[in-house]
Structure 1
Amino acid sequence: MKRKKNIWEGLIIGNFIFLVIVPILTILVWVGTERWAWPSLIPQKFSMRAVKGILRNRQQFAWLCTSSLFISASVAFLSVVIGTMAARALECYDFFGKRLFSFIAMFPFLVPGTVFAMGVQITFIKCGLSGTVLGVIIVHLICSLPYAVTLMQDGTRAIGVKLEEQARVLGAGALQAFFKVTFPNLFPVMLSAFSMAFVVSFSQYFLTLMIGGGNVKTFAIVMVPYLGSGERNFASIYSVIFLVIMLLVFGILEWIVGRFTKAQEVEYY
């Protein structure tokens, strides 16, 4: 039995290496590769042209990263705030149209992206939001909210409202009961919703192109055209930077969760 278990563990690890690690290593090799034709096992020509291109335009690249991080962080923050309020409304209260509201919250999942983009673009042009950062943030927010609402609903359902009600009975106000009792328990879920919304926003290409109209530059807007072209070294270095940014964001959020959990344990004891 133990031998079969070890075999299955080996197969899982092997599949993980093949499906995840090998592609990442291939991308890293392509960063410094100019030509690598089939069926050769090693590149025929090496070049640091992509790296030099990034360094040569480092000011523009820094501005691009800053702009993308600002947009995605804004979207993620708003997604958490709105998602938390929506989740509490759906899980803690009964009101007329509750099922309809829950369906509308998930509606962006059901509408095809192309149809949604065309409708939003026409609306945003009429509202003067097309080609603006605010318009891009709003359209990213629409796409990110279903993820945030779903995660926050699960977290709110698991925690419940009994502890908050007990705090209210003991004399705490509504805001005090939420921030002292419910918020500490929901905080890890909020960070999960934040990270999911951040990823959705940071990797959004089509809607950014449609609503931004070329005026709003994000990391995905610059990276995706390289992926479809023959410039594999540039596509690879942007992919590597994209991966590094995601890992840094997740690492920071994980560090925050760890610090917050330790602080709560110290306060408890």
Structure 2
Amino acid sequence: MKNKRKSIFISITQFVLLAAILVPAVTLLLWIFTERWTWPDLAPQVFSKRAIFEIAGRKKELLQILWSSILISTVVAVLSAVIGIMTARAILLYRFPGKQVVYFFTILPFMVPATVFAMGIQITFIKMGLNNRITGVIIAHLICSLPYAIRLIMDGTAAVGSRLEEQARVLGASPFKAFYKTSLPMLMPVILSAVSMSYIVSFSQYFLTLMIGGGNVKTFTILMVPYLQSGNRNIACIYSTLFLGVTLLVFGVFEWAAGRFMKHGGGEFYTSE
């Protein structure tokens, strides 16, 4: 009887969680084709393809901006993972002067409000000649993404430890090969999480991109947010759907790449030839 109640509770919880995801998604898709939908009617009163035709008219510009956003966010995600791995290993596996200061700086972006950070870094980037440039936007996004990547990879590195690498070194492997063949495959799930988190943080940046990019660097959020703020729900829902679809597609590519690495690239140091 107890197990049956537990099973019913789990089923209800799963249904509620699934509904919490699907209902907003279905509503989003409905608004793409809705011209008028007022309270208290449960169904739209007027349907229209106006928004779709309007977006189709600027397809070329949209694809260019979408590709630029994906490229910027992917670069940020990869750099965040690489820097996060090195930082996490340095903090957890090595001793050096100023170690606590380095750790503090890894969590400092969490403490600084985004508006304050954007205003301060814009002044610095103007002096350095990085404002209104893609390089400046990438660096700014990287600063915001790194704390998430470092924290995730630190947890994974602490769980994996360095014993397997030490065993590989005893068996004759170089330091890099020992890491590549032992620790890296075990860290791959958490690295994938860090890459995904860094990507979504970068892809969804609006105010920071607007400040550092100065209007010269256009990303998908720069295009989407004004429609969200203006109340033009048809166009906003199309952009939101594209945002969701592209994000899921990129995450799928990340997971596929990680799976290919696990299958062909890593974890084979102890296999016999």
Taking structure 1 as the reference length, the TM-score comes to 0.94
Q: d(CA) in 2 for partners of 1:158 and 1:200?
A: 25
Could you tell me which residue of structure 1 aligns to residue 240 of structure 2?
A: 239
Aligned partner of residue 35 in structure 2, secondary structure: strand
Query: Which structure 2 residues correspond to residues 80-91 of structure 1 after superposition, within 5 A?
Result: 80-91=81-92
1:28 corresponds in structure 2 to: 29
Offset of residue 172 of structure 1: 2.1
Q: Which residue of 2 aligns with 1:228?
A: 229
Q: Partner of 1:153: helix, strand, or coil? A: helix
Q: Tell me the amino acid that sits aligned with residue 76 of structure 2.
A: V
CA distance 1:3–1:169, shift in 2 (3 Å): closer
Matched, 1:150 2:146: no
* AA in 1 matched with 2:173: A
What is the CA deviation profile of residues 93-114 of structure 1, one whole-angstrom value per residue up to 9, with x for unaligned ones?
0112111111110100011111
Q: 2:193 is aligned with what amino acid?
A: S
In structure 2, the residue corresponding to 1:34 is in which secondary structure? Answer: strand
Native 8 Å contact 2:88 2:154 kept in 1 = yes
Map Cα deviations across residues 111-137 of structure 1 (whole Å, 9 max, x no partner): 111111111111111111111101100
The aligned amino acid for 2:20 is: L
> Residues 1-269 of structure 1: matches in 2 within 5 Å?
1-263=2-264, 268=271
Gaps of 5+ in 1: none
SS of match in other structure, 2:42: coil
Distance (Å, rounded) in 2 between the aligned partners of 1:85 and 1:260:
19
In structure 2, what is the Cα distance between the partners aligned to 1:161 and 1:89?
Answer: 12
Structure 1 counterpart of 2:8, which letter? I
Q: Which amino acid aligns with 2:73?
A: S
Of stretches 135-144 and 161-170 in structure 1, the one that deviates more from structure 2 is 161-170
- Once the two structures are TM-superposed, the CA of residue 255 in structure 1 deviates from its matched residue by 2.5
- In structure 1, distance between residues paired with 2:159 and 2:267: 20
Find the aligned partners of 1:99 and 1:43 in 2 and give their Cα distance.
58
| Unmatched 5+ stretches in structure 2 | none
SS at match of 1:106: helix
Contact residue 84 and residue 153 of structure 2 kept, 8 A = yes
Displacement, 1:72?
A: 0.2
- Counterpart amino acid of 2:13? I
1:212: Cα distance to partner?
A: 0.7
Amino acid of the residue matched to residue 104 of structure 1? F
The amino acid that maps onto 1:139 is: A
Q: Could you tell me how far 1:181 is from its partner in structure 2?
A: 2.4
Distance between the aligned counterparts of 1:16 and 1:182, measured in 2? 35
Q: Distance in 2 between matches of 1:166 and 1:125?
A: 50
Query: How far 1:4 moved relative to its partner?
Result: 1.9
The count of aligned residue pairs is: 269
**Residues 205-232 of structure 1 deviation map (CA, whole Å, 9 limit, x = unaligned):** 1101111111110011111111111210
Q: Aligned to 1:245, what secondary structure does the other structure show?
A: helix
Q: Work out whether residues 181 and 268 of structure 2, in 8 Å CA contact, stay in contact via their aligned partners in 1.
A: no
Change (3 A) 1:23 1:252: same
Distance (whole Å) between structure 2 residues aligned to residue 176 and residue 14 of structure 1 = 46
Give me the whole-angstrom Cα distance separating, in 2, the residues matched to 1:231 and 1:72.
Answer: 26
**Which contiguous aligned blocks of 4+ residues in structure 1 show a shift greater than 3 angstroms?**
257-269
Query: Once superposed, what is the RMSD of the aligned Cα atoms?
Result: 1.7
Question: 1:266: Cα distance to partner?
Answer: 8.1
Separation in 1 of the partners of 2:256 and 2:177?
Answer: 26
Confirm or deny: 8 A CA contact 2:72 2:138 kept in the other structure. Answer: yes
